[in-house]
Amino acid sequence: MHPRLELRSICKRYPGVVANDDVSLSIQPGEIHAVLGENGAGKSTLMKIIYGAAQADSGEIYCDGNPIAAHNPAVSRALGIEMVYQHFALFESVSVVENIALSASSAFHLPTLAEKIRNLSMRYGMPIDPHRQVHDLSVGERQRVEIVRCLLQAPKLLILDEPTSVLTPQAVVKLFETLRQLAAEGCSIVYISHKLDEVQELCDTATVLRNGKVTGTARPKETTSLELARMMVGSKLPEMHVSPPVPSEKPVLEVNGLSVKARDHFGVDLKNVSFNVHGGEIVGLAGVSGNGQAELVALLSGERTHDRGDAIRICGIDAARLRPNERRKLGIAFVPEERLGRGAVPSHTLWENAVLTAHRFGTVRNGLVDRRKAKAFATGIIDRFKVKANGAQSIAQSLSGGNLQKFIVGREIALKPKLFLVSQPTWGVDVGASAFIRQTIIDLSRAGAAVLVVSEELDELFEICDRLLVICQGKVSAPLIRTTTDREEIGLLMTGRGMSEGASANGSGDIVLQD
């Protein structure tokens, strides 16, 4: 029998890097195959080549034994190949169902399709409202849309490029069930993830890439995650050091009775949110994406302001009415969840992107941008966080996902903040670099900074946070001490079942409750 997919000697170079170097692999029908590797190893590039979204410089692709000659995504879809991109490829200005209709190859009837999406997404534990506009969705919700879109097509080969980076643990469990069922029906799956435990749980075989080359293959179920990590990184993982917190006397961030109406009827109202973050401690905000995190984060960063000045106080100063740059002057630094387009200007170079928030750190003098300083600043981040890029001159959107994330996190940490606000700090970052980023965040807090981490990844929150808050339908729970709580308690709170008052007051909430 022919393998479902066979790659022979795929090569692809970009200016300054060889993204894929003589890569060969084959995947049988019904096989779940992991592709592992550090940030910038060339995984996404390889997937784009399989899907036809990028062209290999040389090498051949066979599908069920037939060579694919002129390749493009339309051919792929006709062959039954579907892909979830790492950076989502959705049309922002139209609704979910319209997006999915656009990629459907056959005729469709919108209301029927919408119904199908609603049912299928519920069944897969990734509820989405088909009529919402994509630009209103959080990244977690967009990821659900991408996955559901692919599943609807009943593919023969499914490519998933970091599909679980912003999914909740419950949704991941459901997704895995679905994937296993698909595989049992003969669908082959290529799965990319930096979460090795997922890979071990799900995948039959794995190919490891380093610097574009295949450096090994493994059977993840029979290999320890340490061994897998070593194959990827080529060296030992750094160990984490978490010293006990030394909270400052006065809180650095105070949120007092913050209530805000959502901007549109799909958003989530924040209801009487109050909490403090002290210097020297790390507070985590757990919750299913789309429960008000986006609203809360925008209010804390200043991208959205609030009329009552003392609803948010930073370093004892009323800040709710201040704009983002004014809050930055108070010592806040912020990593948003969207890295392309919000945290960084996609078409600008890295040094220009350094100026975006580091303009008070010597990169601007007398109203002129000091290019030399800006480049030095960017190069400093690139070196310290081992960002794989072709120097400070590289364009932000040419970086691999994890490397851009490292750059943005590095830039904000380099601002030496008193209050560090970070959403999904290690989204798409490989194991080695994640450990480094987490350690840097811990060191930052132990040096006196207040840190608020917003994440859906409980493991990450449990690893670095001192106290945990849970947000559900716009309400924030009382703080829980990390050492005295557990995943079950947090998980219950995340679904709203642990909250004291009736939590289903909000209309959009019932969707979340289904999780």
Ligand X SMILES: Nc1ncnc2c1ncn2[C@@H]1O[C@H](COP(=O)(O)OP(=O)(O)OP(=O)(O)O)[C@@H](O)[C@H]1O
To the nearest 10 degrees (0 to 180), the angle between helices 96-103 and 110-123 is 100
- What is the enclosing helix (H) or strand (E) of 312? strand 312-314
Closest separation in Å from C-beta 74 to other proteins: 7
Is 75 a binding residue for other proteins by CB under 8 A? The answer is: yes
Q: Which region, judged by CB under 8 A, interacts with other proteins, from 32-40, 63-71, 233-241, 462-470?
A: 63-71
Is 40 a binding residue for ligand X by CB under 6 A? The answer is: yes
Is 401 a binding residue for ligand X by CB under 6 A? The answer is: yes
Is 323 a binding residue for other proteins by CB under 8 A? The answer is: yes
Query: Which residue lies nearer to ligand X by CB, 262 or 345?
Result: 345
Query: Which residue lies nearer to other proteins by CB, 45 or 76?
Result: 76
Is 80 a binding residue for other proteins by CB under 8 A? The answer is: yes
Give exposure, 424-452, as e/b (b: 16+ Cβ within 10 Å): bbbbbbbbbbbbbbbbbbbebbbeebbbb
Closest separation in Å from C-beta 40 to Mg ion: 8
Query: Which residue lies nearer to Mg ion by CB, 301 or 400?
Result: 400
Scan for tokens 């599943």, then name that residue: 151
Is 17 a binding residue for ligand X by CB under 6 A? The answer is: yes
Query: Which residue lies nearer to ligand X by CB, 281 or 430?
Result: 430
Is 37 a binding residue for ligand X by CB under 6 A? The answer is: yes
Helices (H), 40-168: 43-51, 73-79, 96-103, 110-123, 139-152
Q: How far is CA 119 from the centre of its chain?
A: 25
Query: Which residue lies nearer to ligand X by CB, 235 or 484?
Result: 235
Query: Which residue lies nearer to other proteins by CB, 422 or 458?
Result: 422
Is 436 a binding residue for other proteins by CB under 8 A? The answer is: no
Q: Which does 189 bind (CB under 5 to 8 A by kind): ligand X, Mg ion, other proteins, none?
A: none
- Quick note: the x/- pattern for other proteins over 347-386, rule CB under 8 A, is xx---x--xxx-x----x--xxx-----------------
The type of residue at 315 is C
Scan for tokens 């749980």, then name that residue: 201
Closest separation in Å from C-beta 193 to ligand X: 9
Residues at the site binding Mg ion, with contacts judged by CB under 5 A? 44, 86, 400-401
DSSP characters over 453-489: EEES-HHHHHHH-SEEEEEETTEEPPPEEGGG--HHH
What is the C-alpha R_g of the chain?
23
Is 207 a binding residue for ligand X by CB under 6 A? The answer is: no
* Rounded (10°) CA dihedral 155, 83, 160, 340: -160
Q: Which does 398 bind (CB under 5 to 8 A by kind): ligand X, Mg ion, other proteins, none?
A: ligand X
Is 403 a binding residue for ligand X by CB under 6 A? The answer is: yes
- Quick note: the x/- pattern for ligand X over 415-434, rule CB under 6 A, is -------------x-x----
Q: Which does 17 bind (CB under 5 to 8 A by kind): ligand X, Mg ion, other proteins, none?
A: ligand X
Beta bridge partners, 312, equal 255
Size of the site for other proteins (CB under 8 A): 38
Is 328 a binding residue for other proteins by CB under 8 A? The answer is: yes
Is 164 a binding residue for ligand X by CB under 6 A? The answer is: no
Q: Name 59's Cβ contacts closer than 8 Å, sequence gap at least 6.
A: 7, 8, 9, 10, 11, 22, 23
- What is the enclosing helix (H) or strand (E) of 296? helix 293-301
**CB-based contacts of 351-360 (< 8 A; 24+ apart in sequence):** 351/375, 351/377, 351/378, 351/392, 351/393, 353/378, 353/396, 353/407, 353/411, 354/378, 354/381, 354/392, 354/411, 356/411, 357/328, 357/333, 357/411, 357/412, 357/415, 358/411, 358/414, 358/415, 360/328, 360/329
- Quick note: the x/- pattern for ligand X over 75-94, rule CB under 6 A, is -----------x--------
* Rounded (10°) CA dihedral 46, 51, 54, 55: 90
Is 69 a binding residue for other proteins by CB under 8 A? The answer is: yes
Query: Which residue lies nearer to ligand X by CB, 39 or 164?
Result: 39
Query: Which residue lies nearer to Mg ion by CB, 44 or 301?
Result: 44
Nearest to 100 by CA among 36, 29, 136, 153: 153
**DSSP helix/strand/coil, 317:** strand
**DSSP helix/strand/coil, 74:** helix
Nearest to 195 by CA among 34, 405, 386: 34
Site of interaction with ligand X (CB under 6 A): 14-15, 17, 19, 37, 39-45, 86, 388-389, 398-403, 428, 430
Site of interaction with other proteins (CB under 8 A): 64, 66, 69, 74-75, 78-80, 105, 301-303, 323-328, 334, 336, 338, 341-348, 352, 355-357, 359, 364, 367-369
